[in-house]
Structure 1
Amino acid sequence: MEKRKSRKAPPPPKKVRKVPTAFDCPFCGHTSSVQCSIDLKDMVAKTACAVCKVVYATVANALTEPIDVYSEWIDECHKANEGVDVDDR
């Protein structure tokens, strides 16, 4: 008689980390005050701070995620501040 093969338990499913949808404002510094909205019908993505009311808008496509819009906004802020001398006192 042959011995029965034991079945191994399947490996646990990998946990997918969720990307945040609320971010810190680069202007006023409040945490989780920036919300992103993506309108694929008009192909526009907007980020807006609920505290200081700063808004950034860009072109969106089907693959655009909120973190992409926020990152693009931060990159544009860095470009605008390039070459600006900060006077630390």
Structure 2
Amino acid sequence: MGKRKASKRVRPTRRAAPLETTFTCLFCNHEKSVSCTLDKQSGVGNLHCKICGQSHQCIITALSAPIDVYSDWIDACDTVAHQGQDDKSGNADSAQAPAEHEGNYSGDEGY
């Protein structure tokens, strides 16, 4: 007679930690002062700093998360900063127009 096959122990699955909805402000550097709201019905994401009043608004998709809106804000601030540096150095003629953000979808183009 053979030995019975032992059943494998079922390991509990770990839950992913919930993503942040409050972030550090890029302008006043206060931690957890920027709150993010997503209006998926209208496709708009909003950021607002409770301390300095800075705000940002961008287009979102059904799969967007608050971190996506925050990273879009960082990218927009970097773009403005680089444009300001080009204008001050006198190289405004050689400055390229910023590329359109790939996350901004306006309809069912190509689907």
Normalised to the residue count of structure 2, the TM-score between the two structures is 0.69
Confirm whether residue 53 of structure 1 aligns to residue 49 of structure 2.
no
Distance apart, 1:80 and its partner CA: 0.8
CA distance in 1, matches of 2:17, 2:46: 23
Q: Which amino acid aligns with 1:33?
A: S
Q: Which amino acid aligns with 2:39?
A: D
Indicate the residue corresponding to 2:7 in structure 1: 7
> Once the two structures are superposed, what CA deviation does each residue of 1:40-81 show, in whole Å capped at 9, x if it has no partner?
222211000011111100112211110000000011111111
Distance apart, 1:2 and its partner CA: 2.5
Normalised to the residue count of structure 1, the TM-score between the two structures is 0.84
Cα-Cα RMSD: 1.7
Percent of aligned pairs sharing the same letter? 36
Task: Decide which structure has greater strand share.
Answer: 1
Which stretch has the larger CA shift, 55-64 or 76-85?
A: 76-85
Unaligned stretches of 5+ in structure 1? none
The aligned length equals 85
Which stretch has the larger CA shift, 76-85 or 40-49?
A: 76-85
Runs of 4 or more above 4 Å deviation: none
Distance apart, 1:13 and its partner CA: 1.3
